Structure 1
């Protein structure tokens, strides 16, 4: 990005705070666009808690794990499509319109999910939400970066990352708030329509990105916006810098010697930067962060905490530290640099995953295998199991929900191992702590 302002001698985080009274217009632009990140985080996190109650209402979902996986993963499939077309929409119609389209998709998806009468309609709603997530992931940070002063650009773009993790934390709070409400999961999924409407209303009143306006030849509009973003003594220099940059891009695009992708990849600096950026995004997904965020309450239940409310409450620890990691990145990103923060966070991810591997390996190898005799003896200690019409159809979750003291569950070919109540509690506590460690480290958002 362009910018002729020297590096700040104080933290960009503190300078962002000073903008609240120096130039609130910049924060208004950033926060309004950042609501897209909030919706991104909310719609990816809310399904983890809602799924617990969807299984209770739709028995097919409870019996068929592929339906549960479809409800979760179709949003990701929609996000892939949304991100793929999002770049074209951003360039053709502008960042502002792309965000407005994403808001419309968020609203439609939330309404469809909240009124779904069967799993199929619910999946359709998740696809709409996924399309919105994909488009918002492209448009929101791009708008913020192009409408931010150079000095605090890194911190303000990181704000979008914080709002994503903050949205995930908010989703767990909303899930917890509606556990006793009629309709539970319908409220959980439908609440996302509110911030979508709010952002739509705010963005209607805000201008387009100044860089996009320059590219479309609307220079006077772009200059007026830049004069509101930058102090008077810096505005003219930024206008000239941006104008020169855009003119150079247009000239290269129109010339016979166009800058092709192959030609760019032959440049060592560009190639290494591309590999680093793409590699970071790809490998971040393989550390297990999505599994934790999408299935955290279910994982906690399988660890022995059968209550939906308790599982959601414990999941708040994970999502809370996830958001806290993003706050730290906003504070340090312009103070210590991207590379140092990245290396530090990657070291934390590796450390937490190694410890997590050791803990699960130890719990697996030291838990004795169970025989049919032990299975029968332990199962018969549960009154609900003994009185059940079809005890053979019971699974672990039914056992755990039948009695909070139940710390043993087994079925099918002796594949499950004996876990006593106290041992189960310790395992759940250690798993929760290590999940939290991995989540916090992996979500340092490097922009």
Structure 2
């Protein structure tokens, strides 16, 4: 069945009014760009994404600029690993907690709390004088990042019209990658200034304070408002979201409110049934039991956790955290400026993902881009094998100032080119696709499932942050990048077998795909039928 109206929006339930959908589908399809209200809300929420990107990107330039400013000594590899990995570890802690808080106090208040942590963490880092003080500041920022990474896509999804959902979630990724670019520019600008790293980390408080002001004008999501019996406010927000998309918003607003009521009623009934189930452990919450042991829900969890884990274990964030360190040890004259090219490529190709994700499809983007990532990583490994042994040993030295011999300059440029190709293909595929995770979960387990998937992302991020420099030292750089290539190959095989194509399908249809199996073949057939109907 061809999907109509807003089936893909999270504020429209699995049990919907399909007659209403048919009434309003054609009008919605004519207004695909949204209105000013929707875009202002999206951009306001995405400031958290900007902070997320800035605070993950700024550490690259900071690590090569600190010198002996912390604890009166040079940073060791262990220091660098702890400073970077503590951020992702506390993001891992915060992401599931933020999912629970979002249902209890609202999406908007979680963003507010994250802004407070961003501000505190940035200022703490700027004024600390010890390694452990820096670790504490990065940990506070990690809590903020964990909350933002969970709540911003959810906030946007619940406010966006269904036909814009994929693209508007990708906008949040544009802000993340844009924040990383800004971080590298700031890092480069202050790299020659004594104590400039304090400005690098401290400036992260500015966008957080700005968003605190913006929050006074941002509404709560209509789904949350309806859930806490504030339907009048939910109607007002929905009317603004759909203004200009249909001649009269009254009908579509009432349809969505009715659908939310049915959705909440179905959720309550499902919880009652799960509580009375004899097979359920008395110690396990019913939603968690359903997520882990009900086959369709468990399949959705496996797919989303696989994608989020692969997104990190492919080694991408090792470049975000340590790219300046890598280029410094390869003896580029301005490692922070060279590292900016990595962040810039990530941003530019995320723009490409914005236009492609709803045209090519999630599954096909991954199957086409991951092989290029594998080739890029192998090219990088080969280039490292041509770096002379004496120069390769210098990769383990903290900040050697000696020049590489002429015969190692070409491999260094080759490494840079291979990394740029790798980052570009990542930004189109593995960067944005895993964050579309909520579309795979039914409403009753969506919040918890998304929280667990996000926690998987940060858990794997922590592993990469802790192991990258030791792997470079123990395995050598070429075998480190070869390991990342092997992870990508394994991920491609798993995606090929278990990840269905969800582009163009409503939530009900996605749920149907996972009822009796992985639904890969069925999803491709449905997509073919959908395209043929649209052409006719």
TM-score category, normalised to shorter length: 0.7 to 0.9
Looking at structure 2, the residues matched to 70 and 352 of structure 1 have their Cα atoms a distance apart, in angstroms, of 28
Q: Pick from 328, 333, 337 the counterpart of residue 352 of structure 2.
A: 328
Q: 1:257 to 1:61 in 2, by over 3 A?
A: farther
Q: Match for residue 351 of structure 1? A: 375
Deviation at 1:101, TM superposition (A): 0.4
Q: Match for residue 130 of structure 1? A: 142
Looking at structure 2, the residues matched to 238 and 213 of structure 1 have their Cα atoms a distance apart, in angstroms, of 13
Looking at structure 2, the residues matched to 78 and 68 of structure 1 have their Cα atoms a distance apart, in angstroms, of 16
Q: Match for residue 30 of structure 1? A: 42
Looking at structure 2, the residues matched to 220 and 64 of structure 1 have their Cα atoms a distance apart, in angstroms, of 57
Q: Match for residue 363 of structure 1? A: 386
Q: Match for residue 315 of structure 2? A: 288
Q: Match for residue 390 of structure 1? A: none
Q: 1:441 to 1:107 in 2, by over 3 A?
A: same
- In the alignment, is residue 244 of structure 1 matched against residue 262 of structure 2? yes
Looking at structure 1, the residues matched to 75 and 345 of structure 2 have their Cα atoms a distance apart, in angstroms, of 33
Q: Match for residue 281 of structure 2? A: none
- In the alignment, is residue 277 of structure 1 matched against residue 304 of structure 2? yes
Looking at structure 2, the residues matched to 167 and 130 of structure 1 have their Cα atoms a distance apart, in angstroms, of 15
Looking at structure 1, the residues matched to 125 and 75 of structure 2 have their Cα atoms a distance apart, in angstroms, of 20
Q: 1:203 to 1:358 in 2, by over 3 A?
A: same
Q: Match for residue 407 of structure 2? A: 423
Q: Give aligned pairs, total.
A: 396
Deviation at 1:65, TM superposition (A): 2.3
- In the alignment, is residue 170 of structure 1 matched against residue 197 of structure 2? no
SS class of match (1:55): coil
- In the alignment, is residue 100 of structure 1 matched against residue 112 of structure 2? yes
Is the CA contact 2:383–2:412 (under 8 Å) kept in the aligned structure 1? no
Looking at structure 1, the residues matched to 139 and 292 of structure 2 have their Cα atoms a distance apart, in angstroms, of 34
Q: Match for residue 421 of structure 2? A: 437
What TM-score do the two structures reach when normalised by structure 1? 0.81
SS class of match (1:336): coil
Deviation at 1:395, TM superposition (A): 5.0
Cα root mean square deviation, aligned: 2.8
- In the alignment, is residue 397 of structure 1 matched against residue 399 of structure 2? yes
Deviation string 1:229-269 (CA, Å, 9 cap, x unpaired) is 11426333333223322232233234555764444445544
The runs of at least 4 consecutive aligned structure 1 residues that moved more than 6 Å come to: 6-9
Deviation at 1:349, TM superposition (A): 2.0
Looking at structure 2, the residues matched to 58 and 136 of structure 1 have their Cα atoms a distance apart, in angstroms, of 29
Q: 1:292 to 1:221 in 2, by over 3 A?
A: same
Q: Match for residue 297 of structure 1? A: 324
What TM-score do the two structures reach when normalised by structure 2? 0.69
Looking at structure 2, the residues matched to 182 and 243 of structure 1 have their Cα atoms a distance apart, in angstroms, of 59
Structure 1: gaps (5+ residues): 376-393, 401-405, 408-420
Q: 1:189 to 1:348 in 2, by over 3 A?
A: same
Deviation string 1:202-232 (CA, Å, 9 cap, x unpaired) is 1122111111111112111111111111142
Please tell me whether Structure 1 or Structure 2 has the larger radius of gyration of its CA atoms: 1
Looking at structure 2, the residues matched to 73 and 123 of structure 1 have their Cα atoms a distance apart, in angstroms, of 9
Is the CA contact 2:11–2:159 (under 8 Å) kept in the aligned structure 1? no
Is the CA contact 1:61–1:67 (under 8 Å) kept in the aligned structure 2? no
Looking at structure 1, the residues matched to 258 and 110 of structure 2 have their Cα atoms a distance apart, in angstroms, of 27
For residues 185-196 of structure 1, what are the structure 2 equivalents within 5 Å?
A: 185-196=197-208
Q: 1:109 to 1:263 in 2, by over 3 A?
A: closer
Deviation at 1:136, TM superposition (A): 0.6
